[in-house]
Amino acid sequence: MPQIDPDQMRANRLYSQVDLPGLMPRDQPLRALKASFDAGGHAVLLLARSDRDFRAIEGMQLANLAPFLPQALVIWRGLQDERMRARLERQISSDLGVGWMLFGPAGNVTSLSGKARDLLQAVPGLRNRPMGWLELPGEDMAQALHRALTEAQATGQSSSPVDLSPDLQLTLLQAEPGLVGILRAAPRGRSLPLERVTAAHGLSRSEARLALLLCDGASLAEAAEELGWTVETARSCSKQVFARMGVKGQAAVIRRLLNGTLWLGQDWPRPS
């Protein structure tokens, strides 16, 4: 990329390698055009050749683009913003264990998100067959899915949830021309980095481990057994957790953790 000085360029003027401000060296044929935004900022369209210099007619054609460049740049920036929002929404849904599938009128899967594909692959015995037909691991699950498809198509309302595994649930919503299936596998508290939990709630590492086990549905006795503690130690530690988190009881700890943003990853795409 040639080094130039856009601040010294005038908007809508066509420059060559001879008079382009800041250009060094000046031996490569090129043409440059600066476009300014109404809201501030600018962009430079730069074309370079390696074989011959530009003809006069080519310079005129490039200059004729000047009135359209600001609008094109606004559209391009809007598209970049839309893509960024879409990436953020996909990342948030993935962090929260949510995926989607589109079902055709016949009940086959016509499309699915990457997260949904990952969730389905994690279910033993479940396969997405050719043409999008789901092969389920048991007859009871297959009948439950068939009932849910029939229910959503007939009523136009959300179906009763279908348990595809102890940790994965599917709900069907009416859409055109078929159905949308929402998959949800709530992330486990054990999957959270302890450092993130201790920093967010002022807990020690031992207290954070206990809080996450409670969030995963363990009782104090079950948590104590997994941590190698006595029940009395777990009970004493839980009181410290309650005090530090400013809550009363295990249910409030679970609610505070589940409602927090700890589940959302830190490596999100950043605006360019």
What is the distance between the alpha carbons of residues 244 and 56, in angstroms, rounded to a whole number? Answer: 75
Q: CB neighbours (10 Å) of residue 122?
A: 13
What is the distance between the alpha carbons of residues 258 and 212, in angstroms, rounded to a whole number? Answer: 10
The structural domains of the chain, ordered by start, are 6-74 (no CATH), 96-184 (3.30.450.20), 189-259 (1.10.10.10)
Q: Are 202 and 244 in contact (CB under 8 A)?
A: yes
Half-sphere exposure of 88 (CA within 13 A, CB side): 8
pLDDT tens, position by position, for the chain (272 residues)? 677 888 899 988 899 998 998 887 778 899 999 888 776 678 888 888 888 899 999 888 888 888 888 888 888 889 999 999 999 999 999 989 999 999 988 889 999 999 999 999 999 999 888 888 999 988 999 999 999 999 998 888 899 899 999 889 999 998 776 799 999 998 889 888 999 999 999 999 999 999 999 999 999 999 999 999 999 999 999 999 999 999 999 999 999 999 988 888 755 555 44
pLDDT recorded at residue 45: 87
Q: Structure pTM?
A: 0.70
pLDDT recorded at residue 169: 95
pLDDT recorded at residue 272: 47
Radius of gyration of the chain (CA): 29
What is the distance between the alpha carbons of residues 149 and 106, in angstroms, rounded to a whole number? Answer: 9
pLDDT recorded at residue 11: 86
Q: Are 10 and 19 in contact (CB under 8 A)?
A: no
